[in-house]
Structure 1
Amino acid sequence: MFVLELSYTAPVEQVDALLDAHIEWLDAQYAAGVFLASGRKNPRDGGVILAAGVGRAEIEKIAAADPFSVGGVCAYRITEFHATKTAAELAPFREELPA
């Protein structure tokens, strides 16, 4: 599982200019079953996405295709973790620790 942390690198007005395209990109990743949750940080200096079901190389490719990345208005920090305990609704995404 991955936590994708977005940090804005441009004024929020430039971010907002790409917001509709970013939302379409988010919707496509939800439809593909990759994204589980997403939202703005508070204060509004970026966002957070929870993702699963793909490997590191694929999640990096997905993040690079975000209109925010393409438009140069954010930087991504991608953290991979092993979700060994989850809420019941996320049980399909639980993982065993590697040996």
Structure 2
Amino acid sequence: MFIVNLTYLVDLREIDAELANHVEWLKHCYESGAFVASGRKKPRDGGIILARCTREKLEDYLNCDPFRRKGLARYEIIEFEPGMMASGFEKVLVK
């Protein structure tokens, strides 16, 4: 499993101008089964993605993100191995 921490590098106006393309990219990643959850950070200075795929595949996906291609955000990838989880999350976290 991976947590991807996006940090915006530009003004929110530039982020918002590219947001529809970013959302389309996210939808593709969800359809592939690679992404489990995503959303904006508060305060809105970036976002978080929870992913379940190989690191190589994740890098491939992230390289296609319009935010990355246009230099709008920085990406920190944190890998972790779930040791415990709330009941019901087994189906979400295990691929």
Q: TM-score, normalised by structure 1?
A: 0.88
Q: What residue in structure 2 maps to residue 50 of structure 1?
A: 50
SS at match of 1:30: helix
SS at match of 1:48: strand
Identity among equivalent pairs (%): 41
SS of the aligned residue for 1:47 comes to strand
Q: CA deviation at 1:58?
A: 1.1
CA RMSD of aligned residues (A): 1.1
Q: Distance in 2 between matches of 1:85 and 1:63?
A: 27
Partner of 1:13: 13
Deviations for 1:20-70, whole angstroms, at most 9, x for unmatched residues?
000000111111111111100000000000010x21111111111111001
Name structure 1 gaps, 5 residues minimum: 95-99
How many residues in Structure 1 have an aligned counterpart in Structure 2? 93
Could you list the per-position Cα deviations for residues 4-25 of structure 1 after superposition, in whole angstroms to 9, with x for gaps in the alignment?
Answer: 0000001111111110000000
Gaps of 5+ in 2: none
Q: CA deviation at 1:89?
A: 2.9
Alignment of 1:14-93 (within 5 A): 14-52=14-52, 54-92=53-91, 93=93
Q: Which moved more, 1:68-77 or 1:84-93?
A: 84-93
Task: With a CA cutoff of 8 Å and minimum separation of 6, indicate the structure with the bigger relative contact order.
Answer: 2
Q: Structure 2-normalised TM-score?
A: 0.91
